[in-house]
């Protein structure tokens, strides 16, 4: 009898355990990542952090969750951790951990000449810029669980080329400034700007350094920031779909000529927009079928 019981125990299938994987183009500063969890308890999102930042998970199908994360432009190289708490369909929560070996990346330097007020702003304009930056950082710190993301991200200017790359160290009128936290895209004044992904307009106004600015909340802690616009054609609060026209390119704010500055923040991390485009979101956050 004891032998039979042991045989039945050994033959019984092991309890289902959730698993996780991290997908990213490169383990370098400024890269976006996708965290995918499968075999999880439905309707009970995983929790955890990526390089110290809290993750916001979205359930794509029963027991399958995704989160978008980022390695900031100034992230420390070496070991960065992904630490999760996963919940099996049956049983107690379990820890999951992965070490990311972040490699150094060398960014180029660019020298630009701009109007003197943008290189060395007088105290009142510098105070204005500081207030605007604080306001933006507060928005970026909010991560909503809902998402308008469907499929892959796309370029916000059709057929355009990048003229200044993400991460370049900027020197304005001979003065070193912050690194370039987005991509400059070739676009003449009046060129239509489209939403690279679905989202909600959370800011649409004229700011000091970026000029006319539009901010889209895509959900899951992901934001698109569009600067130097000549016109904004969508109001705050509007939900837009990928490919919808949202603005026109221009040359407002601190610029040397017309173009679009597109930056992406993921849970406050500054990431290269091209790394977000590279994420295989069409596999996990598929566009909804039209009825």
Among the ranges given (112-121, 218-227, 279-288), the one the predictor scored with the smallest mean pLDDT = 112-121
Confidence (pLDDT) at 14? 54
Which tokens in the block code for residue 267? 């849970």
Which residues, including other chains, have CB under 8 Å from residue 109's CB and lie 6 or more apart? 168, 169, 170, 171
Domain CATH code at residue 164: 2.70.70.10
Task: Examine the domain organization and report whether 76 and 166 are in the same domain.
Answer: no
242 closest CA partner among 183, 275, 200, 182 = 200
Q: What confidence tens digit (pLDDT) does each residue in 176-207 have?
A: 456 768 889 999 999 999 999 999 999 999 99
Q: Which helix (H) or strand (E) holds 246?
A: strand 245-249
Q: Given 45, 68, 102, which residue is the final one in a domain?
A: 102
Contact 34, 24 (CB under 8 A): yes
Task: Examine the domain organization and report whether 88 and 193 are in the same domain.
Answer: no
Q: Given 68, 102, 136, which residue is the final one in a domain?
A: 102
Residue 3 pairs with which residues in a beta bridge?
Answer: none
Three-state secondary-structure class, residue 284: helix
pLDDT higher at 89 or 9:
89
Residues in the chain: 291
Q: Which helix (H) or strand (E) holds 98?
A: strand 94-102
Confidence (pLDDT) at 129? 86
Task: Examine the domain organization and report whether 114 and 19 are in the same domain.
Answer: no
**C-alpha–C-alpha distance, residues 118 and 199, integer Å:** 31
Q: What confidence tens digit (pLDDT) does each residue in 9-36 have?
A: 444 445 679 999 999 999 999 999 999 9
Task: Examine the domain organization and report whether 59 and 125 are in the same domain.
Answer: no
Sheet arrangement for strand 64-70: 19-24, 32-38, 64-70, 58-61
**C-alpha–C-alpha distance, residues 276 and 68, integer Å:** 9
Stretch 259-264: mean pLDDT: 94
Task: Examine the domain organization and report whether 25 and 163 are in the same domain.
Answer: no
Q: What is the mean pLDDT of the chain?
A: 87
Residue 3 has pLDDT above 60, yes or no: no
291 assigned to some structural domain: no
Structure confidence at residue 125 as a pLDDT band (50, 70, 90): confident
Strands 78-86 and 47-50: antiparallel
Q: What confidence tens digit (pLDDT) does each residue in 32-87 have?
A: 999 999 999 999 999 999 999 999 999 999 999 999 999 999 899 999 999 999 99
290 assigned to some structural domain: no
């Amino acid at each position: 009898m004891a032998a039979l019981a042991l045989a039945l125990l050994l033959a019984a299938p092991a309890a289902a355990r959730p698993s996780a994987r991290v997908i990213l183009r490169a383990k370098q500063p400024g890269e976006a990542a996708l965290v995918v969890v499968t075999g999880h308890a439905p309707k009970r999102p995983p929790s955890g952090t990526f390089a110290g930042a809290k993750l916001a998970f979205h359930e794509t199908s029963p027991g399958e969750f995704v989160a978008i994360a980022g390695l900031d432009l100034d992230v420390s190289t070496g070991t960065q951790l992904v630490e999760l708490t996963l919940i099996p369909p049956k049983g107690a929560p379990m820890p999951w951990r992965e070490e990311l070996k972040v490699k150094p990346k060398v960014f180029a330097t660019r020298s630009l000449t701009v109007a003197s007020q943008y290189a060395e702003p007088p105290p009142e304009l510098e105070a204005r810029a500081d207030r605007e930056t604080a306001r933006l950082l507060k928005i970026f710190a909010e991560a909503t669980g809902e998402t308008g993301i469907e499929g892959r991200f796309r370029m916000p200017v059709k057929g355009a080329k990048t003229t200044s790359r993400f991460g370049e160290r900027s020197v304005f009128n001979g003065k070193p400034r912050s690194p370039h936290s987005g991509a400059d895209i070739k676009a003449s004044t009046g060129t239509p700007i489209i939403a690279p992904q679905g989202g909600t307009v959370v800011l649409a106004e004229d700011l000091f350094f970026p000029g006319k600015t539009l901010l889209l909340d895509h959900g899951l802690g992901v934001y698109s920031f569009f600067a130097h616009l000549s016109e904004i054609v969508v109001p705050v609060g509007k939900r837009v779909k990928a490919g919808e026209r949202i603005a026109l390119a221009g040359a407002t704010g601190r610029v040397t000529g017309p173009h679009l500055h597109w930056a992406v923040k993921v849970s406050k991390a500054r990431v290269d927009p091209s790394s977000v485009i590279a994420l295989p979101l069409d596999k996990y956050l598929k566009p909804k079928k039209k009825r």
